[in-house]
């Protein structure tokens, strides 16, 4: 594992308790081959997960005053998912600092799960060592600016989440989606998807993937419920 001085510099922080940050970078697998008294990072990961969610929730609450709870929940889920946090771990090059078993070490740089969990553990350590403002500082640099790109790239989450929220509120059921037809060659297929509320078909949508067709159907459904 590399010296943590560079990591602290990258984060713009000065660690009061370097041992805490060393523990944040110890994967469970490392203990199968080494004796490490401080233990692995899973407790810090547990704490960091809550801290990341709190900071992200507060940010979204203030940034989008007009969005409903369901929309905010879907957006938060997209921001704190494994892929997003794994990208941050790769950006910070955490694989250079991680303590892993030999087997895990061979592919750690490409393992989103390990990197994502390590980011959470690191945030947990920052929270304990330097407080909530320091954790906010790091996430404000590496996570929170991603929100606009996430919205742009995950519009389907927004539409489907909004429609589900509306239907559950008004009908007390969860909408379902069924592929009605698909046409065209494999490289250029068109899907037709129906969205149902209970046994009743509400709307249909078309797209070049099942996901995009579901999005179109949900959008059409929202218009019928006068919420688009």
**What are 89-119's pLDDT values in tens digits?**
999 999 889 988 776 666 655 577 889 999 9
Nearest one of 100, 116, 94 to 11, comparing CA atoms: 94
pLDDT of residue 8: 93
What is the third-level CATH fold of 5-153? Ribonuclease iii, N-terminal Endonuclease Domain; Chain A (1.10.1520)
Choosing from 22, 45, 49, 214, which is the catalytic residue? 49
> H helices then E strands: how many in the chain?
11, 3
What is the third-level CATH fold of 155-224? Double Stranded RNA Binding Domain (3.30.160)
91/171 Cα distance (integer angstroms): 44
Choosing from 22, 45, 104, 120, which is the catalytic residue? 120
Q: Is 120 a catalytic residue?
A: yes
Residues of CATH 3.30.160.20 domain(s) within the chain?
155-224
pLDDT of residue 124: 98
123/76 Cα distance (integer angstroms): 17
Nearest one of 149, 162, 10 to 79, comparing CA atoms: 149
- pTM over cut 0.75: no
Rounded mean pLDDT of the chain? 87
**Sign of CA pseudo-dihedral 134, 140, 143, 144:** positive
pLDDT of residue 106: 67
pLDDT in tens, 39-50: 789 999 999 999
């Amino acid at each position: 594992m590399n010296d943590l001085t560079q990591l602290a510099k990258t984060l713009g922080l000065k660690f009061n308790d370097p041992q805490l940050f060393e523990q944040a970078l110890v994967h469970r697998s490392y203990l199968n081959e080494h004796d490490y008294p401080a233990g692995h990072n899973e407790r810090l990961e547990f704490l960091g997960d809550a801290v990341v969610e709190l900071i992200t929730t507060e940010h979204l609450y203030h940034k989008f005053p007009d969005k409903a709870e369901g929309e905010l929940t879907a957006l938060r889920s997209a921001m704190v998912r494994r892929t997003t946090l794994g990208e941050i771990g790769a950006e910070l090059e955490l694989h250079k600092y991680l303590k892993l078993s030999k087997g895990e070490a061979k592919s750690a740089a490409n393992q989103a799960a390990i990197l994502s969990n390590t980011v959470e553990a690191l945030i947990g350590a920052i929270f304990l060592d330097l407080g909530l403002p320091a954790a906010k500082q790091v996430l404000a640099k590496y996570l929170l600016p991603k929100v606009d790109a996430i919205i742009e790239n995950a519009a389907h989450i927004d539409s489907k989440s909004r429609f589900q929220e509306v239907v559950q509120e008004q009908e007390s059921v969860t909408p379902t989606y069924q592929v009605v037809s698909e046409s065209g060659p494999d490289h250029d297929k068109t899907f037709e998807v129906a969205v149902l509320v209970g046994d009743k078909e509400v709307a249909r949508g078309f797209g070049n993937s099942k996901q995009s067709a579901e999005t179109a159907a949900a959008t059409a459904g929202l218009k019928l419920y006068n919420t688009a």
